[in-house]
Amino acid sequence: MNFLVTGGAGFIGSHVCERLLHSGHSVWALDDLNAFYSPAIKERNLQEITALGKPFTFILSELSDVKALENLFKEVRIDQIIHLAARAGVRSSLDEPEFFQQVNVEGTVNILEAARRHGVKKIVLASSSSVYGVNKKVPFAENDPVFSVISPYAASKLACEALGHVYHYVYGMDVTMLRFFTVYGPRQRPDLAIHKYAKLIAAGKPIPVYGDGSTARDYTYISDIVDGVIACTERKFGYEIFNLGGSETVTLSRLIELLEQAFGKKAVIERHPIQPGDVPLTYADTTKSNKLLNYAPKVKIEQGIPLFVDWFKQQVKERQ
């Protein structure tokens, strides 16, 4: 099949592209290579994908460029879309709320409209565990109320979920929304905690810790996320929302301990107050995903952190 993967040069997107290519599909990856973090990182991802020598095409474009989308769909018969492109980040969304709505919400409308106009009936869209906000019930299940979001980023993802339902209900599209829970692994964005901490620990610099270390996240290794994404492309649901998480919580203090063990050195901790927009806990109930997607995360945090650190050290070595 022919797949369009938006955000295909990014962390999750590049891994999804590779899995699709290894499975015999043709892939068109759309990405704007923006400067949210160094475009050189995404360019390296693209080089690794291209080196596979499989049917892969990269399109440099923003989601706002409706003309570029139209040209792509006229030239290529796209069978499915995996929409991963978005401006991410809870804290940065507080600084640029308008921009987050423009990229995430309007960009998603542009993708859905292109799919509608050109008869693409199946689309998988990335949402986020952030939509659960300050949910007091744990673990978080897909049918929990989601009216307590606490960041513009989370609000934008919730809007995308609603838009997905509109296009399913009105146009009969098969739409799957995936709520990702703190994804990590090789190629992880440098602004995310694990990558940022790894860089600082390796350099012997202080790591900023917000709060007392008791906040907890459901960390999910990249290969498990990709398993869930691909499972959605192989099934029809009409409209469904799925959690993709590791289904266990890890405190920030424990995460730092695992990084210290992997690097063989102690972290220098710099304490800061909890930041606005940060939720105290994320924890995925994956019962539904297991039942309907056969989703079963395999990589525990004790395995995943050393794998990430090995990749991180190799990247440092290659740049020296």
Architecture of domain 2-319: 3-Layer(aba) Sandwich (3.40)
- Report d(CA 138, CA 166) in Å as an integer: 28
Average pLDDT estimate for 241-256: 96
What amino acid positions are annotated as catalytic residues? 153
Average pLDDT of every residue of the chain:
95
pLDDT of residue 217: 94
| Interacting residues of 77 by C-beta distance below 8 A, sequence separation 6+ | 2
Q: Distance between CA atoms of 3 and 79, rounded to whole angstroms? A: 6
Using pLDDT thresholds of 50, 70 and 90, give the confidence band for residue 319. confident
pLDDT tens for 32-64 read 999 888 999 999 999 999 999 999 999 999 999
What is the reported pTM? 0.95
Confidence of residue 135 (pLDDT cuts 50, 70, 90): confident
What's the rounded Cα separation, in Å, for the pair 309 and 250? 17
Q: What is the pLDDT of residues 163-215, one digit of tens each?
A: 999 999 999 999 999 999 999 999 999 999 999 999 999 999 999 998 888 99
Delimit the domains of the chain by residue range. 2-319
Predicted confidence (pLDDT) at residue 232 exceeds the cutoff of 80: yes
E strand spans, 142-263: 174-180, 183-184, 206-210, 216-217, 220-221, 239-244, 250-251
- Rounded Cα distance, 79 and 221, in Å: 28
User: pLDDT above 90 covers what percent of the chain?
Assistant: 87
Element (H, E) at 243: strand 239-244
Is residue 202 within 8 Å of residue 317, measured between CB atoms?
no
Over range 249-257, report the average pLDDT. Answer: 96
The mean pLDDT of 23-39, rounded to a whole number, is 95
- Would you state the structure tokens that stand for residue 165, as one six-digit string? 């339902």
As a whole number of angstroms, the distance between CA 314 and CA 188 comes to 14
Compute the distance between CA of residue 124 and CA of residue 7 in angstroms, rounded to an integer: 13
- Is residue 280's pLDDT more than 90? no
Percentage of residues of the chain with pLDDT beyond 70 = 99
